[in-house]
Structure 1
Amino acid sequence: MKIALPTRQNLIDSHFGHCEYFTVFTADDSNKKITAQETVASPAGCGCKSNIAHVLSDMGVTVMIAGNMGDGAVNVLNSAGIEVLRGCSGDVKEAALNWLSGTLVDSGDSCHAHDHECHH
Protein backbone atom coordinates (compact mmCIF):
# COMPACT_ATOMS: atom_id res chain seq x y z
CA MET A 1 0.00 0.00 0.00
CA LYS A 2 1.26 3.49 -0.83
CA ILE A 3 0.24 6.77 0.81
CA ALA A 4 1.06 10.18 -0.69
CA LEU A 5 1.20 13.52 1.13
CA PRO A 6 1.76 16.98 -0.36
CA THR A 7 4.86 18.16 1.49
CA ARG A 8 6.74 21.32 2.42
CA GLN A 9 9.72 20.91 4.78
CA ASN A 10 8.52 17.47 5.97
CA LEU A 11 5.10 18.87 6.92
CA ILE A 12 1.79 18.42 5.14
CA ASP A 13 1.52 21.40 2.81
CA SER A 14 -1.81 23.12 3.33
CA HIS A 15 -2.06 23.79 -0.42
CA PHE A 16 -2.05 20.52 -2.38
CA GLY A 17 -1.54 22.19 -5.78
CA HIS A 18 1.48 24.22 -4.73
CA CYS A 19 3.49 21.83 -2.54
CA GLU A 20 7.28 21.51 -2.81
CA TYR A 21 7.01 17.77 -3.48
CA PHE A 22 4.96 14.70 -2.58
CA THR A 23 6.17 12.26 0.05
CA VAL A 24 5.15 8.69 -0.78
CA PHE A 25 5.28 6.08 1.96
CA THR A 26 5.07 2.37 1.26
CA ALA A 27 3.33 0.64 4.15
CA ASP A 28 2.86 -2.96 5.19
CA ASP A 29 -0.87 -3.20 5.75
CA SER A 30 -0.58 -6.28 7.97
CA ASN A 31 1.63 -4.70 10.64
CA LYS A 32 0.82 -1.02 10.04
CA LYS A 33 4.47 -0.10 9.54
CA ILE A 34 6.12 2.13 6.94
CA THR A 35 8.65 0.13 4.95
CA ALA A 36 9.90 2.73 2.44
CA GLN A 37 9.80 6.45 1.69
CA GLU A 38 10.34 8.34 -1.56
CA THR A 39 9.64 11.78 -2.95
CA VAL A 40 7.93 12.79 -6.17
CA ALA A 41 8.48 16.20 -7.70
CA SER A 42 5.47 18.49 -7.66
CA PRO A 43 4.23 19.42 -11.13
CA ALA A 44 4.45 23.02 -12.25
CA GLY A 45 1.16 24.91 -12.02
CA CYS A 46 -2.09 23.80 -10.48
CA GLY A 47 -2.15 20.29 -9.02
CA CYS A 48 -5.65 19.41 -10.20
CA LYS A 49 -4.84 20.32 -13.82
CA SER A 50 -1.59 18.37 -13.89
CA ASN A 51 -0.97 14.67 -14.42
CA ILE A 52 0.10 14.13 -10.78
CA ALA A 53 -2.93 11.96 -10.00
CA HIS A 54 -1.96 9.51 -12.74
CA VAL A 55 1.74 9.64 -11.83
CA LEU A 56 0.90 8.73 -8.24
CA SER A 57 -1.69 6.14 -9.27
CA ASP A 58 0.83 4.49 -11.62
CA MET A 59 3.22 4.25 -8.63
CA GLY A 60 0.54 2.36 -6.71
CA VAL A 61 -0.65 5.20 -4.45
CA THR A 62 -4.16 4.55 -3.12
CA VAL A 63 -4.42 7.21 -0.38
CA MET A 64 -3.69 10.97 -0.35
CA ILE A 65 -3.48 12.65 3.06
CA ALA A 66 -3.70 16.39 2.49
CA GLY A 67 -4.37 19.75 4.04
CA ASN A 68 -6.73 21.84 1.99
CA MET A 69 -7.83 20.75 -1.44
CA GLY A 70 -10.54 21.87 -3.80
CA ASP A 71 -13.25 19.54 -5.01
CA GLY A 72 -11.74 19.50 -8.52
CA ALA A 73 -8.50 17.99 -7.22
CA VAL A 74 -10.40 15.51 -5.05
CA ASN A 75 -12.41 14.39 -8.08
CA VAL A 76 -9.28 13.98 -10.23
CA LEU A 77 -7.56 11.91 -7.53
CA ASN A 78 -10.68 9.82 -6.87
CA SER A 79 -10.98 9.14 -10.62
CA ALA A 80 -7.40 7.83 -10.54
CA GLY A 81 -8.32 5.43 -7.73
CA ILE A 82 -6.86 7.50 -4.89
CA GLU A 83 -8.85 8.02 -1.68
CA VAL A 84 -8.43 11.56 -0.27
CA LEU A 85 -8.37 12.68 3.37
CA ARG A 86 -8.45 16.46 3.80
CA GLY A 87 -8.00 18.76 6.76
CA CYS A 88 -4.69 17.31 7.90
CA SER A 89 -1.54 19.08 9.06
CA GLY A 90 1.74 18.34 10.78
CA ASP A 91 4.59 15.91 10.23
CA VAL A 92 4.05 13.73 7.14
CA LYS A 93 5.31 10.49 8.69
CA GLU A 94 3.23 11.00 11.83
CA ALA A 95 0.11 11.63 9.72
CA ALA A 96 0.75 8.49 7.66
CA LEU A 97 1.22 6.41 10.81
CA ASN A 98 -1.98 7.88 12.29
CA TRP A 99 -3.86 6.89 9.12
CA LEU A 100 -2.43 3.38 9.28
CA SER A 101 -3.56 3.06 12.90
CA GLY A 102 -7.09 4.16 11.93
CA THR A 103 -7.12 7.43 13.88
CA LEU A 104 -7.35 9.80 10.90
CA VAL A 105 -10.59 10.73 9.13
CA ASP A 106 -11.42 13.12 6.30
CA SER A 107 -12.61 16.50 7.55
CA GLY A 108 -14.65 16.92 4.35
CA ASP A 109 -13.39 20.50 4.11
CA SER A 110 -12.71 21.92 0.70
CA CYS A 111 -10.14 24.59 0.08
CA HIS A 112 -11.78 27.36 2.05
CA ALA A 113 -11.02 26.39 5.66
CA HIS A 114 -7.49 26.83 6.97
CA ASP A 115 -5.49 26.24 10.15
CA HIS A 116 -6.99 23.11 11.61
CA GLU A 117 -5.64 19.74 12.65
CA CYS A 118 -6.65 16.31 11.42
CA HIS A 119 -9.73 15.03 13.17
CA HIS A 120 -8.95 12.06 15.40
Structure 2
Amino acid sequence: MKIALPIVNGKLSLHFGHCQSFALVEADKNSREIKETEYTQPPPHEPGVLPKWLHDLGAELIIAGGMGQRAQKLFNDNNIEVIVGAESDTPENVVKEYLNNTLTTGSNLCDH
Protein backbone atom coordinates (compact mmCIF):
# COMPACT_ATOMS: atom_id res chain seq x y z
CA MET A 1 0.00 0.00 0.00
CA LYS A 2 1.07 3.60 -0.53
CA ILE A 3 0.80 6.00 2.41
CA ALA A 4 1.05 9.78 2.00
CA LEU A 5 2.32 12.04 4.77
CA PRO A 6 2.54 15.86 4.67
CA ILE A 7 6.07 16.86 5.69
CA VAL A 8 7.68 20.00 7.11
CA ASN A 9 11.33 20.08 8.19
CA GLY A 10 11.63 16.29 7.75
CA LYS A 11 8.73 15.42 10.05
CA LEU A 12 4.98 14.97 9.85
CA SER A 13 3.34 18.36 9.48
CA LEU A 14 0.86 19.13 12.23
CA HIS A 15 -1.20 21.19 9.77
CA PHE A 16 -1.88 19.48 6.47
CA GLY A 17 -2.11 22.68 4.40
CA HIS A 18 1.26 24.01 5.55
CA CYS A 19 3.46 21.14 4.38
CA GLN A 20 6.64 21.64 2.34
CA SER A 21 6.52 18.23 0.66
CA PHE A 22 4.88 14.83 0.82
CA ALA A 23 6.49 11.56 1.74
CA LEU A 24 5.00 8.69 -0.22
CA VAL A 25 5.79 5.51 1.65
CA GLU A 26 5.34 2.16 -0.07
CA ALA A 27 4.64 -0.42 2.64
CA ASP A 28 3.64 -4.05 2.87
CA LYS A 29 0.88 -4.25 5.46
CA ASN A 30 1.16 -8.04 5.78
CA SER A 31 4.90 -8.13 6.51
CA ARG A 32 4.77 -4.70 8.22
CA GLU A 33 7.77 -3.55 6.19
CA ILE A 34 8.55 -0.26 4.52
CA LYS A 35 9.65 -0.89 0.96
CA GLU A 36 10.45 2.61 -0.25
CA THR A 37 10.05 6.28 0.70
CA GLU A 38 9.83 8.96 -1.96
CA TYR A 39 9.58 12.70 -1.36
CA THR A 40 7.68 14.88 -3.80
CA GLN A 41 6.71 18.54 -4.08
CA PRO A 42 2.97 19.14 -4.09
CA PRO A 43 1.19 21.38 -6.57
CA PRO A 44 0.02 24.77 -5.24
CA HIS A 45 -2.37 24.33 -2.32
CA GLU A 46 -5.89 24.93 -3.59
CA PRO A 47 -9.10 23.21 -2.47
CA GLY A 48 -9.55 19.85 -4.19
CA VAL A 49 -6.13 19.70 -5.90
CA LEU A 50 -4.15 17.59 -3.42
CA PRO A 51 -6.66 14.73 -3.03
CA LYS A 52 -6.79 14.13 -6.79
CA TRP A 53 -3.02 14.55 -7.15
CA LEU A 54 -2.28 12.05 -4.36
CA HIS A 55 -4.90 9.65 -5.75
CA ASP A 56 -3.18 9.83 -9.14
CA LEU A 57 0.12 8.99 -7.40
CA GLY A 58 -1.48 5.86 -5.94
CA ALA A 59 -1.97 6.95 -2.32
CA GLU A 60 -4.47 4.81 -0.42
CA LEU A 61 -4.03 6.39 3.01
CA ILE A 62 -2.96 9.79 4.32
CA ILE A 63 -1.74 10.29 7.87
CA ALA A 64 -1.72 13.87 9.15
CA GLY A 65 -1.58 15.84 12.36
CA GLY A 66 -4.53 17.98 11.41
CA MET A 67 -6.85 18.41 8.43
CA GLY A 68 -10.07 20.30 7.87
CA GLN A 69 -13.34 18.43 7.46
CA ARG A 70 -13.74 19.49 3.83
CA ALA A 71 -10.29 18.18 2.93
CA GLN A 72 -11.05 14.89 4.69
CA LYS A 73 -14.23 14.53 2.64
CA LEU A 74 -12.34 15.26 -0.59
CA PHE A 75 -9.77 12.57 0.25
CA ASN A 76 -12.54 10.08 1.04
CA ASP A 77 -14.23 11.00 -2.27
CA ASN A 78 -10.92 10.07 -3.96
CA ASN A 79 -10.83 6.67 -2.19
CA ILE A 80 -8.06 7.73 0.21
CA GLU A 81 -8.49 6.84 3.87
CA VAL A 82 -7.60 9.64 6.31
CA ILE A 83 -6.05 9.36 9.77
CA VAL A 84 -5.67 12.63 11.69
CA GLY A 85 -4.26 13.51 15.08
CA ALA A 86 -0.88 11.82 14.58
CA GLU A 87 2.12 13.32 16.36
CA SER A 88 5.03 14.91 14.52
CA ASP A 89 7.77 12.37 13.80
CA THR A 90 9.71 11.10 10.81
CA PRO A 91 7.58 9.52 8.07
CA GLU A 92 9.22 6.14 8.60
CA ASN A 93 8.47 6.15 12.34
CA VAL A 94 4.84 7.18 11.77
CA VAL A 95 4.34 4.46 9.16
CA LYS A 96 6.06 1.82 11.33
CA GLU A 97 3.68 2.69 14.16
CA TYR A 98 0.73 2.45 11.77
CA LEU A 99 1.88 -0.92 10.43
CA ASN A 100 2.39 -2.25 13.97
CA ASN A 101 -1.01 -0.94 15.13
CA THR A 102 0.71 1.31 17.70
CA LEU A 103 0.00 4.69 16.08
CA THR A 104 -1.50 6.94 18.71
CA THR A 105 -3.71 9.75 17.53
CA GLY A 106 -5.11 12.63 19.47
CA SER A 107 -7.31 15.51 18.49
CA ASN A 108 -7.51 16.74 14.93
CA LEU A 109 -5.13 19.71 15.08
CA CYS A 110 -7.07 21.61 12.41
CA ASP A 111 -10.46 23.11 13.12
CA HIS A 112 -11.58 24.34 9.71
For the aligned residues, what is the CA RMSD? 1.6
Q: Which residue of 1 aligns with 2:78?
A: 80
Report which structure shows greater RCO (CA 8 Å, sep ≥6).
2
| % identity of equivalent residues | 33
Q: Which residue of 1 aligns with 2:10?
A: 10
Aligned in 2, Cα 1:83/1:100: closer, same or farther, shift over 3 Å?
same
| 5+ long unaligned stretches in structure 1 | 113-120
Paired positions, count: 110
Q: Look up the equivalent residue of 2:110 and give its one-letter code.
A: C
Q: Which residue of 2 aligns with 1:100?
A: 99
Alignment of 1:24-43 (within 5 A): 24-43=24-43
Alpha-carbon displacement from aligned partner over 1:65-120 (angstroms, at most 9, x marks no partner): 101111011111111111111111222210011001112255462613xxxxxxxx
Q: Which residue of 2 aligns with 1:55?
A: 53
Superposition misfits of 4+ residues, deviation over 6 angstroms: none
Q: Which residue of 2 aligns with 1:44?
A: 44
Contact 1:43–1:50 (8 Å) recurs in 2: no
| 5+ long unaligned stretches in structure 2 | none
TM-score if structure 1 supplies the norm length?
0.82
TM-score if structure 2 supplies the norm length?
0.88
CA distance, structure 2, for counterparts of residue 109 and residue 81 of structure 1: 20
